[in-house]
Structure 1
Amino acid sequence: MANPEHKESLDGLDKISVVIYRIGISLVSVALLMLAFAEILCVIESDKAGFMRHLSIHVVAISAAMCAATIHIYDKKIRTLIVWSGWLGLVTFIALPSHDWLFIGFFFVTFSGVALKESYCFKIKGLTLVPMLLILSVLVIWMKDAALLAILSSISGAIFAFLALKKWRMPLHFDIGKKSNYQI
């Protein structure tokens, strides 16, 4: 967790990685809300549901890659788990596109790690519930229950949207923390 009294000197790569991470968090919220909307369209049997769901899953993949590539966590083991889940999700997304519950599950592990990491910095109600909501969402995707998925992903998306707003208001160096604390 970043110490507000410590101001780390950031180079250009540090600044770019923080901005990409924050864009990734913003896209997570957009992707989850798009997925909720797509599932609502499925429930009302709209012709646009398939396209919207396809698009939202692609945005989920992009946001997972952005967060996985730029997350700043001191502990090497935890960072590896979060990052590799994102990359395994991308590989599965490409290799097994019909197994959406599987690659979305890997992406949601990455997003759960982001939510838990950020819960140490922010006291946002519901942020610690996001991992459970995302786990349930994967189960619901496997069960193909559009109505329940719309509810779960809209709640998760709203929590991530609130987190994104909070993140963009804070200085960039808060995301990096103290560079000497990172395990390499």
Structure 2
Amino acid sequence: MADTQHQEPLDLLDKVSVCLYRFGISLFSISLLVVSASLANLFSLANNMHWALLATCTASALAAANLHVYSKAVRTIIVWSSWLGILLMVGDPEQNYMWLSLGFLFVTFSGIALKESFCFNVTGLKLVPLGLAGCVLFLVLDHPLVTSVLLIPTGLIMGYLSYQKWKMPLHFDIGIKAKYQV
């Protein structure tokens, strides 16, 4: 659990990084719901999936670039999964292997969900990795409607996390600076 009694003095960069991290979580939750709607063909515009995937990549980049995790090894896995997923997404413009790109991006947010569930008691976060893994599995099996259904509760849980994070003081995300492995 996070030590909410400890308050580090935050400089401008700390405050900006926490806000960008929280914005990344917010954008990710919204993008999951748009991807869900696009997979279910609820939108008539063909470019909605493109924009939803762009938002998912942007959310991953924001969250990964501003992640505050003490363990260097855990931080490396979470961050590099995001960058690898973004590179795979950019390298596959026809999205023939969208499941692979999203899989790496989902590793990032599964790690974030587990980290947040460890630090703060937010309901449902431990289900997020299961939901995201299920989404990748059903994308591989070419079941977009099942994927769409799984994305809804996952997006809502991440949205609830986002809501809870924005209510918290900024110093909760930083923790104790001396504990970070560089």
Pairwise TM-score range, normalised by the shorter structure = over 0.9
Kindly report which structure 2 residues correspond to 1:101-112, keeping only aligned pairs within 5 A, or say none. 101-112=99-110
Does 2:51 correspond to 1:55? yes
What is aligned with 2:162?
164
What is aligned with 2:9?
9
Kindly report which structure 2 residues correspond to 1:60-79, keeping only aligned pairs within 5 A, or say none. 60-79=56-75
1:1-31 C-alpha deviation (Å, 9 max, x unpaired): 4311100011111111000000000001000
Is contact 1:30–1:157 with CA below 8 Å preserved after alignment? yes
Is contact 2:131–2:150 with CA below 8 Å preserved after alignment? yes
Kindly report which structure 2 residues correspond to 1:57-136, keeping only aligned pairs within 5 A, or say none. 57-97=53-93, 98=95, 99-136=97-134
**1:181 deviation in Å?**
0.3
Is contact 1:89–1:104 with CA below 8 Å preserved after alignment? yes
Is contact 2:2–2:120 with CA below 8 Å preserved after alignment? no
How many residues get paired?
180
User: Counterparts of 1:35 and 1:95 in 2: how far apart (Å)?
Assistant: 19
Is contact 1:2–1:176 with CA below 8 Å preserved after alignment? no
User: Counterparts of 1:38 and 1:94 in 2: how far apart (Å)?
Assistant: 19
**1:55 deviation in Å?**
1.3
SS of the residue 2:119 aligns to: coil
Specify every segment of 5 or more residues in structure 2 that has no aligned partner in the other structure, as ranges: none
Write the letter of the residue equivalent to 1:145: H
**1:120 deviation in Å?**
1.3
What is aligned with 1:27?
27
Displaced runs of 4+ in structure 1, greater than 4 A? none
Specify every segment of 5 or more residues in structure 1 that has no aligned partner in the other structure, as ranges: none
**1:96 deviation in Å?**
2.4
Write the letter of the residue equivalent to 2:86: L
Write the letter of the residue equivalent to 1:10: L
SS of the residue 2:51 aligns to: helix
Write the letter of the residue equivalent to 1:9: P
**1:90 deviation in Å?**
1.2
1:106-154 C-alpha deviation (Å, 9 max, x unpaired): 1000010110011013323321011011011011112221211111111
User: Counterparts of 1:102 and 1:177 in 2: how far apart (Å)?
Assistant: 33
- Once the two structures are aligned, what percentage of the paired residues are identical? 44
Please say which of residues 138-147 and 24-33 is displaced more in the overlay. 138-147
User: Counterparts of 2:141 and 2:62 in 1: how far apart (Å)?
Assistant: 28
User: Counterparts of 2:146 and 2:51 in 1: how far apart (Å)?
Assistant: 19
User: Counterparts of 2:84 and 2:13 in 1: how far apart (Å)?
Assistant: 25
Write the letter of the residue equivalent to 1:53: M
RMSD of aligned C-alpha atoms?
Answer: 1.3
